[in-house]
């Protein structure tokens, strides 16, 4: 018996979601908030809480539109990097171990960006919460930044930001192709085309800045110290940390304008 074309198309494009992919967006957001609160409640530096929080948000956000089989395949490179880097991170006081961990996260950011390719507005909020949680978790390291030393927190922050930049850059590219398909047009349409093109250039610049910052951190570059108004340890911040804050501010501004 022949299958109608419309029914056949429906049968081939339907994806059965399992596990976390079946959770409503509100449930995933609440779960991320609870996890972020639990990570912030841990006393001390809680460096391991950053990893647990990042992994949980990775799975929850990635499962928002990805079937479980594809999710597992995309998690394999990230899991391998974690298995290699985690034992080195457990060595107390090892600067080399910290550099290796950041290098592993930098190499896996392509896989991470692919995982966030099916983003929704709720997933953007989840990632924003994770960045804020990483910022708050590293507050002790920020207060102790009295020398040419980058706190651990920005490394987790830039790791999560790289996925966000990659996903939004893909969205801008798809929108630009759609505009080219419709034609330039006249008047307001031409102005919108120029605005989208300029926004795409801005995203390319942010992507380049993100790649350079990841490479600099992986190489152990700490940057110059910027003295801010005020007294105490918190008034001295590494220049690269301010670069991260500027990058995140640009991301938030461009994605919600």
Quick check: 180 pLDDT over 50?
Answer: yes
Question: What pLDDT score was predicted for residue 119?
Answer: 42
The token pair at 32 is 């991320």
Quick check: 177 pLDDT over 50?
Answer: yes
pLDDT band at 89 (very low <50, low <70, confident <90, very high): very low
φ, ψ of residue 185 in degrees (nearest 5): 75, -160
φ, ψ of residue 227 in degrees (nearest 5): -90, 115
pLDDT, tens digit (0-9, with 9 covering 90-100), for 72-85 = 444 444 444 444 44
Q: Residues 1-26: what's their mean pLDDT?
A: 47
Quick check: 24 pLDDT over 50?
Answer: yes
Question: What pLDDT score was predicted for residue 51?
Answer: 52
Question: What pLDDT score was predicted for residue 214?
Answer: 44
In whole angstroms, what is the distance from residue 254 CA to residue 33 CA?
Answer: 24
- % of the chain with per-residue pLDDT over 70: 0
Quick check: 100 pLDDT over 50?
Answer: no
Question: What pLDDT score was predicted for residue 123?
Answer: 45
Question: What pLDDT score was predicted for residue 44?
Answer: 45
pLDDT, tens digit (0-9, with 9 covering 90-100), for 36-58 = 455 444 444 444 554 554 455 44
In whole angstroms, what is the distance from residue 206 CA to residue 8 CA?
Answer: 42
pLDDT band at 145 (very low <50, low <70, confident <90, very high): very low
The token pair at 39 is 């990570």
Question: What pLDDT score was predicted for residue 27?
Answer: 53
SS3 string, the chain, reads CCCCHHHHHHHHHCCCCCHHHHCCHHHHHHHHHHHHHHHHHCCCCCHHHHHHHHHHHHHHHHCCCCCHHHHHHHHHHHHHHHHHHHHHHCCCCCHHHHHHHHHHHHHCHHHHHHHCCCCCHHHHHHHHHHHHHHHHHCHHHHHCCCCCCCCCHHHHHHHHHHHHHHHHHHHHHHHHHHHHHHCCCCCHHHHHHHHHHHHHHHHHHHHHHHHHHHHHHHCCCCCCEEECCCCCHHHEEEHHHHHHHHHHHHHHHHHHC
Domain map (residue ranges) of the chain: 24-36+44-256
Least confident stretch, 6-10, 122-126, 225-229, 248-252: 225-229
Question: What pLDDT score was predicted for residue 2?
Answer: 52
Q: Residues 241-245: what's their mean pLDDT?
A: 50
Quick check: 205 pLDDT over 50?
Answer: no
pLDDT, tens digit (0-9, with 9 covering 90-100), for 110-134 = 434 434 443 444 444 444 444 444 4
Q: Residues 171-190: what's their mean pLDDT?
A: 52
First to last CA, the chain: 52
Ramachandran quadrant class, 194 (left: phi over 0; alpha: psi -120 to 50; beta: rest): alpha
Quick check: 153 pLDDT over 50?
Answer: no
């Amino acid at each position: 018996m022949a299958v109608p074309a419309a029914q056949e198309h429906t049968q081939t494009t339907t994806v059965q979601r399992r596990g976390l992919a079946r959770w409503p967006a509100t449930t995933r957001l609440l779960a991320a908030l609870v996890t972020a609160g639990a990570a912030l409640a841990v006393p001390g530096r809680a460096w391991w809480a950053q990893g647990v929080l990042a992994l949980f948000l990775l799975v929850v956000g990635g499962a928002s539109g990805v079937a479980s089989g594809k999710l597992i395949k995309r998690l394999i490179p990230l899991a391998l990097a974690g298995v290699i880097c985690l034992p080195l991170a457990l060595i107390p006081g090892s600067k080399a171990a910290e550099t290796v961990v950041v290098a592993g996260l930098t190499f896996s950011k392509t896989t991470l960006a692919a995982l966030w390719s099916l983003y929704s507005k709720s997933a953007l909020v989840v990632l924003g919460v994770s960045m804020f949680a990483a910022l708050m978790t590293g507050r002790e390291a920020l207060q102790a930044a009295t020398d040419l030393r980058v706190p651990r927190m920005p490394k987790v922050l830039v790791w999560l930001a790289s996925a966000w930049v990659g996903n939004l850059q893909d969205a801008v590219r798809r929108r630009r192709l759609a505009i080219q398909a419709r034609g330039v047009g006249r008047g307001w349409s031409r102005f919108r085309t120029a605005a989208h093109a300029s926004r795409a250039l801005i995203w390319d610049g942010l992507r380049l800045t993100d790649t350079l910052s990841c490479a600099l951190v992986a190489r152990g570059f700490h940057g110059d110290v910027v003295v801010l108004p005020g007294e105490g340890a918190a008034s001295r911040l590494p220049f690269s940390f301010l670069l991260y804050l500027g990058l995140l501010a640009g991301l938030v501004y461009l994605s919600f304008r």
